[in-house]
């Protein structure tokens, strides 16, 4: 059996190349919320999620060997990302939360990822990291105080659950150790597809209706599916899992807090989503929390040179 392995990495900050990779990932993830919203006009949410993982699995599974990790690990990761994270988030985004706010609320994954790392991997939480989490949590709290027709409490709760599922997936992928993360994401997709299809068949209209949905879907919706599969799943989550295997969770997990900047910006530009002052304030607090977490060690080292 492949033993859980976490690479010991003593650095308290990301190397520049790893930081740039993290920024590239969150740019893809952030702008993706506009794509999701447009695709949900053509596909039911759980069926849309199933299509995402079908094209992440096929045809790559025939050319990429299975990673050296247990089937159980792959199963948990596939269920957490496919059903818990994206199936539930797509359902919420269909009518219960706006894309820009979804991109912000999903970042509760940071707190779950760090919490799981503290519990399972015994990773410590430094004081400045606690401050960073508290500041970002304040920003998310502002959102909970502002619900309307486009964002409900149920929608917020569902996306928080998606964040929990993302935290589970992060923890499981880190326990997989130093493996080929592209292979890991491809093979784990096999466990996402059956439950998503089953949920869709039971609750979204049956096989005949879903067949009609596929035939009626415009080309742009299918391009969106492929972007979900290849840009977000294969590139985004393979690269993200690789970063998590190289660094402590408290260092890497906050990076997607930048997702809302791209998500809210793209939603405002392409979908005319309003940006009132409270949204800007909430996003600002989240980003300030991220900056404290990422740059405080470097700033502290610089200050020590002069004092």
Q: What is the pTM of this model?
A: 0.81
Q: Can you give the pLDDT at residue 270?
A: 81
Q: Can you give the pLDDT at residue 231?
A: 86
**Which tens digit of pLDDT belongs to each residue from 31-44?**
888 889 899 999 99
Q: Quick one: how many helices (H) and strands (E) in the chain?
A: 15, 0
261 pLDDT band, cuts 50/70/90, is confident
Q: 148 Cβ partners below 8 Å, 6+ apart?
A: none
- Can you tell me whether residue 241 is helix, strand or coil? helix
CB atoms within 10 A of CB 131: 14
d(CA 206, CA 31): 31
d(CA 122, CA 115): 10
CB atoms within 10 A of CB 39: 24
d(CA 266, CA 273): 9
CA distances from 61 to 54, 55, 68, 131, 237 (A): 10, 10, 14, 43, 16
- End-to-end CA distance of the chain: give it in Å, rounded: 51
- Phi, psi at residue 166, to the nearest 5°? -65, -40
**Which tens digit of pLDDT belongs to each residue from 119-137?**
776 666 778 878 888 888 8
Chain centroid to CA 214: how far?
26
Q: 221 Cβ partners below 8 Å, 6+ apart?
A: 38, 39, 41, 42, 43
272 pLDDT band, cuts 50/70/90, is confident
H helices of 58-86, in order, are 71-79
d(CA 43, CA 225): 10
Of the ranges 7-21, 62-76, 194-208, which one carries the lowest mean pLDDT score?
Answer: 7-21
């Amino acid at each position: 059996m492949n033993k859980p392995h976490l690479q010991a990495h003593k650095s308290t900050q990301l190397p520049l190349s790893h930081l740039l990779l993290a920024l590239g990932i969150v740019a893809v993830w952030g702008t993706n919320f506009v794509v999701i919203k447009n695709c949900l006009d053509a596909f039911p949410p759980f069926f849309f999620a199933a299509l995402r993982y079908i094209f992440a699995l096929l045809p790559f599974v025939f050319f990429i060997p299975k990673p050296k990790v247990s089937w159980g690990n792959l199963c948990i990761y596939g269920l957490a990302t496919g059903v818990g994270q994206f199936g539930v988030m797509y359902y919420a985004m269909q009518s219960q939360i706006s894309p820009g706010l979804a991109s912000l609320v999903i970042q509760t994954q940071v707190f779950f990822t760090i919490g799981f790392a503290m519990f399972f991997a015994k990773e410590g939480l430094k004081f400045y990291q606690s401050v960073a989490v508290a500041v970002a949590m304040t920003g998310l709290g502002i959102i909970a105080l502002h619900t309307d027709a486009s964002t409900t409490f149920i929608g917020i709760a569902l996306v928080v659950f998606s964040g929990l599922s993302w935290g589970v997936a992060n923890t499981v992928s880190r326990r997989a150790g130093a493996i080929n993360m592209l292979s890991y994401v491809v093979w784990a997709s096999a466990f996402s597809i059956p439950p998503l299809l089953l949920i869709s068949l039971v609750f979204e209209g049956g096989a005949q209706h879903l067949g009609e949905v596929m035939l009626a879907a415009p080309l742009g919706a299918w391009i969106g599916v492929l972007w979900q599969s290849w840009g977000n799943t294969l590139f985004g989550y393979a690269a993200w899992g690789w970063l998590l295997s190289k660094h402590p969770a408290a260092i890497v997990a906050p990076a997607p807090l930048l997702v809302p900047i791209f998500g809210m910006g793209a939603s405002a530009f392409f979908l005319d989503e309003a940006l009132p002052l409270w949204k800007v304030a909430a996003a600002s607090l989240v980003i300030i929390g991220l900056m404290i977490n990422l740059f405080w060690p470097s700033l502290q080292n610089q200050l020590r040179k002069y004092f």
